């Protein structure tokens, strides 16, 4: 990733891609206390546009607040940085990675002279779970790892350290021949994927877990809004894994994963074993929305 042309926004300046480096004593590298975002820009009629930029920046600032990290920039500056990295790298569509981290000003848990640094990078990135998965659906497995308890780490914050749990779960699932993990919360109810929110459909009603152990996904909110507008009923409730086994459809949502159908959990085929009609309809609405092909919610489509 580090050896390529382009520019990265780092602490208020555009720096050449290969020179956007930090010291090995960077505090966040040692303890994982940092916050980040995953954002996408899509090609639209009016050029590249960042989808729900304001919501992502709000969540980044909320994550920093939860961890007690003092943001050195205001939201307008961070939004401008995100538009600039897409523009200045000449990207038509992109995945963006803003991150706030503590620098190498001090070491140890008691370091009190740390500065918050901010970076934003952008590059081209296709379907996160593969183009084939978007159509056929993916096979997933209930993880042996439990999702975070709300008082062990802060699940509302998109915190770097939280992703050790995600990577353990994903690596286990991939090693066992599945494409993604389904993590349960500490009480055994469905929480989310390693980097996606979970939905299921039963009897025409759409269900998703409450926001206790899962991240408050922006795609989750987008899909719920589009589904309600299309007349679907959505219920947020505790979901058990056996409810998923007998669901009609299931899918993941996420900025990277977009709307990805799930065709199998723990060796049980879900519904007809391929992308279901509700999932397909929501995928279409989602892709039309992010590409600026719908008139609704123009404020979600932020042309760079
Ligand atoms: N849960 C986790 C653990 C994630 O990492 C993500 C990706 N940010 C999501 C859910 C989905 O969130 P969003 O739709 O905002 O990308």
Residues 117 and 137 in one domain: no
**DSSP of 114-161, one letter per residue?**
--EEEEEEEE----TT-HHHHHH-EEEEEEEEEPPPTTTS-TTS-BGG
pLDDT at position 67? 97
Domain boundary among 123, 142, 175: 123
What's phi and psi for 261, nearest 5 deg? -65, 150
Residues 239 and 163 in one domain: yes
Q: H/E element holding 223?
A: helix 218-229
Say if residue 126's pLDDT is above 90. Answer: no
pLDDT at position 131? 84
Write down the pTM of the prediction. 0.97
C-alpha to C-alpha distance for 196 and 57, rounded to whole angstroms: 18
Domain boundary among 106, 123, 140: 123
Pocket test for ligand 1, best of 34, 35, 37, 38 (most atoms within 8 A of CB): 38
pLDDT at position 247? 98
CATH of the domain at 27: 3.30.470.10
Residue 179 resides in a domain = yes
Pocket test for ligand 1, best of 36, 215, 251 (most atoms within 8 A of CB): 215
C-alpha to C-alpha distance for 189 and 196, rounded to whole angstroms: 16
C-alpha to C-alpha distance for 184 and 213, rounded to whole angstroms: 9
Catalytic residue among 92, 115, 158, 281: 158
Per-residue model confidence as pLDDT tens digits over 158-175: 999 999 999 999 999 999
Q: Looking at ligand 1, which atom is closest to the CA of residue 56?
A: 15
Q: Who lines ligand 1 at CB under 6 A?
A: 38, 166, 192, 195-197, 214-215, 217-220, 253-255
C-alpha to C-alpha distance for 284 and 29, rounded to whole angstroms: 39
Task: Find the mean pLDDT for residues 226-241.
Answer: 98
Residues 78 and 225 in one domain: no
Q: What is the ipTM of this complex?
A: 0.99
Ligand 1: residue whose CA is nearest its atom 5: 195
pLDDT at position 281? 98
Residues 48 and 153 in one domain: no
- Its domain, for residue 163, covers 131-290
Per-residue model confidence as pLDDT tens digits over 194-212: 999 999 999 999 999 999 9
Residues 174 and 102 in one domain: no
158 catalytic? Reply is yes
Give me the sign of the Cα torsion angle 200, 203, 204, 207: negative
How many angstroms does the Cα of residue 271 sit away from the middle of ligand 1? 25
How many angstroms does the Cα of residue 167 sit away from the middle of ligand 1? 13
Contacts of 16-22 with C-beta under 8 Å, sequence gap 24+, read 17/121, 20/119, 20/121, 22/101, 22/103, 22/104, 22/117
pLDDT at position 130? 82
Confidence of residue 15 (pLDDT cuts 50, 70, 90): very high
Per-residue model confidence as pLDDT tens digits over 49-87: 999 999 999 999 999 999 999 999 999 999 999 999 999
- Domain count for the chain, please give it: 2
């Amino acid at each position: 990733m580090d050896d390529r042309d382009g520019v990265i926004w780092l602490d208020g300046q555009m720096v050449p891609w290969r020179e956007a480096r930090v010291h090995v004593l960077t505090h966040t590298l040692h303890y994982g206390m940092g916050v980040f975002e995953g954002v996408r820009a899509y090609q639209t009629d009016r050029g590249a546009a960042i989808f729900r930029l304001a919501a992502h920046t709000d969540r980044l600032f909320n994550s920093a607040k939860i961890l007690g990290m003092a943001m050195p920039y205001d939201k307008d500056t961070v939004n401008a940085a995100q538009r600039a990295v897409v523009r200045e790298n000449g990207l038509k569509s992109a995945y963006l990675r803003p991150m706030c981290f503590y620098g190498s000003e001090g070491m140890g848990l008691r370091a009190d002279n740390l500065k918050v640094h901010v970076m934003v990078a952008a590059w081209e990135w296709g379907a996160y779970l593969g183009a084939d998965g978007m159509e056929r659906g993916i096979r997933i497995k209930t993880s042996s790892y439990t999702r975070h308890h709300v008082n062990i780490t802060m699940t509302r914050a998109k915190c770097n350290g939280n992703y050790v749990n995600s990577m353990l779960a994903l690596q286990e699932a991939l090693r066992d021949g599945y494409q993604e993990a389904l993590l349960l919360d500490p009480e055994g109810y469905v929480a989310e994927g390693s980097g996606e929110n979970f939905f299921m459909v039963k009897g025409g009603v759409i269900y998703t877990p409450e926001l206790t152990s899962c991240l408050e996904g922006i795609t989750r909110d987008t899909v719920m809004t589009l589904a309600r507008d299309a007349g679907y009923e959505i219920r947020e409730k505790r979901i058990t894994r056996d409810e998923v086994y007998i669901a009609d459809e299931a899918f993941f949502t996420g900025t990277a994963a977009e709307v990805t159908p799930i065709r199998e959990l723990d060796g049980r085929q879900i519904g007809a074993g391929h992308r279901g009609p509700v999932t397909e309809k929501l995928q279409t609405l989602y892709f039309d929305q992010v590409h600026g092909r719908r008139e609704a919610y123009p404020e979600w489509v932020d042309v760079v």
